[in-house]
């Protein structure tokens, strides 16, 4: 199975398996020293004690700069005095936090004063990163990618998911702390299928997320440049990663504007399936007017439909009413 279809079916299986309060997302940057240097295929964010408070706050990812600012829930502060970053970054974070309802504004003398509508909650627990490699005969830089995940230890656990039969030789080439799953996409959503779609070959070993990590940067013959990442930077990066996962989810695909394309709900989620190609397809890379099977048509499913499906099947709340705020309480804070 192609990696795109494999990934979507795995996300659908995880959503059903892990419960409504676990956030499943895909294609997220998981580097610290080299932004964009490492992309995690799938991330599972397990809930913390205040997950319900997060769902009531906003359905979008909250900017890291807004969370890390000195804007609190008490007396409103002049926005520029509350940030330790470039004014343009602070202004963008302030505007976005106001747009999504994390901040509220007061105007005084033509200037913006802001405060949080509610305290930022302790909403997430374990982060589990999953690397998809359907065909282990074509591993690419799998070993290097997994070693980066292990040495940085940004996620609590790292797992390799494959459709291939896993041999001892495969296991020997994979860091021993990495869990290994054999995923059977054909079993997802099929009540008559024999066995769990996720076959655990090896359980992952928890990683030391609270300790400093090492992030490989550039490799040269005989040496690799690395960055040492402090535990404080890792903690901030974990929160940013969890926030991006909450705002993005995994239903980030589009449906082709093609009359041939159908909806495939066999996995328990609505996926774009092309009968001509015989598979789930990526509208951005697989489809278009130059495809031999293309017929002009309309998209069968919109982004809003996919958001509705996410809300119906998970604990994520689209456009929440927001936390209740006691008027005038800030006078005493």
Q: Vertex 138, ends 137 and 142: CA angle to 5°?
A: 110
Q: Is the dihedral of CA 25, 31, 36, 41 positive or negative?
A: negative
Q: What is the pLDDT of residue 324?
A: 56
| CB hemisphere CA count around 309 (13 angstroms) | 18
Q: What is the pLDDT of residue 150?
A: 97
How does DSSP classify residue 317?
Answer: -
Q: How far apart are the first and last CA of the chain?
A: 58
Quote the tokens at residue 73. Answer: 């829930």
How does DSSP classify residue 204?
Answer: P
Helix runs in 109-167, H state only:
142-152
Q: How far apart are CA 94 and CA 71, in angstroms?
A: 10
For tokens 């913006």, name the residue.
Answer: 112
Instruction: Kindly give, in sequence order, each residue whose CB lies less than 8 Å from that of residue 270, ignoring residues fewer than 6 positions away.
Output: 263, 264, 301, 305, 306, 309
Quote the tokens at residue 270. Answer: 């609505």
Helix, strand, coil in percent for the chain, rounding step 5: 30, 25, 45
The whole-angstrom distance between residue 324's C-alpha and the CA centroid of its chain comes to 28
Hey, which residues does 215 pair with through a beta bridge? 227
Element (H, E) at 11: helix 3-18
pTM across the whole model = 0.92
Is 81 within 8 Å of 93 (Cβ atoms)? no
Residue by residue, pLDDT tens for the chain (333 residues) are: 689 999 999 999 999 999 999 999 999 999 999 988 899 999 999 999 999 999 999 999 999 999 999 999 989 999 999 999 999 999 999 999 999 999 999 999 889 999 999 999 999 999 999 999 999 988 888 998 999 999 999 999 999 999 999 999 999 999 999 999 999 988 886 655 667 899 999 999 999 999 999 999 887 777 888 999 999 999 999 999 999 999 999 999 999 999 999 999 988 899 999 999 999 999 989 898 899 999 999 888 999 999 999 999 999 999 998 775 543 444 333
Is 120 within 8 Å of 50 (Cβ atoms)? no
For tokens 């296991």, name the residue.
Answer: 171
Where does residue 331 rank: exposed (0-12), middle (13-18), buried (19+ CB within 10 A)? exposed
3-state secondary structure of 305: helix
Q: How far apart are CA 268 and CA 16, in angstroms?
A: 8
In the chain, DSSP assigns E strands to 23-29, 39-47, 77-78, 103-108, 111-116, 124-132, 157-162, 179-183, 198-202, 213-220, 223-229, 262-264, 271-274, 279-280
């Amino acid at each position: 199975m192609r990696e795109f279809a494999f990934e979507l079916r795995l996300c659908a299986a995880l959503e059903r398996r892990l419960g409504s309060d676990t956030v499943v997302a895909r294609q997220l940057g998981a580097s610290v020293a080299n932004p964009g240097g490492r992309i995690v295929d799938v991330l599972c964010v397990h809930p913390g004690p205040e997950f319900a408070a997060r769902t009531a706050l906003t359905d979008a990812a909250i900017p890291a700069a807004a969370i890390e600012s000195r804007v609190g829930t008490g007396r409103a502060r002049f926005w520029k005095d509350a940030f330790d970053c470039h004014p343009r970054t602070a202004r963008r974070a302030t505007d976005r936090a106001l747009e999504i309802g994390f901040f509220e504004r007061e105007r005084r003398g033509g200037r913006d004063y802001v405060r949080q509508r509610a305290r930022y909650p302790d909403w997430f627990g374990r982060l589990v990163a999953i690397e998809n490699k359907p065909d282990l005969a074509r591993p690419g830089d799998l070993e290097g990618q997994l070693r980066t995940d292990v040495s940085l230890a940004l996620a609590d656990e790292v797992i390799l998911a494959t459709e291939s039969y896993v041999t001892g030789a495969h296991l020997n080439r994979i860091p021993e702390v990495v869990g290994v799953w054999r995923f059977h996409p054909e079993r997802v959503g099929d009540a008559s299928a024999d066995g769990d779609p996720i076959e655990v070959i090896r359980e992952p070993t928890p990683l030391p997320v609270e300790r400093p990590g090492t992030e490989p940067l550039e490799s040269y013959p005989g040496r690799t440049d690395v960055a040492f990442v402090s535990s404080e930077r890792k903690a901030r990066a974990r929160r940013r990663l969890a926030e991006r996962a909450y705002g993005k989810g995994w239903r980030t695909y589009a449906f082709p504007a093609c009359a041939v394309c159908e909806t495939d709900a066999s996995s328990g989620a609505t996926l774009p399936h092309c009968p001509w190609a015989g598979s789930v397809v990526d509208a951005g890379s697989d489809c278009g007017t130059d495809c031999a099977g293309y017929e002009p048509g309309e998209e069968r499913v919109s982004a809003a439909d996919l958001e509705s499906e996410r809300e119906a099947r998970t604990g994520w709340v689209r456009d929440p009413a927001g936390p209740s705020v006691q008027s005038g309480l800030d006078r005493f804070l």
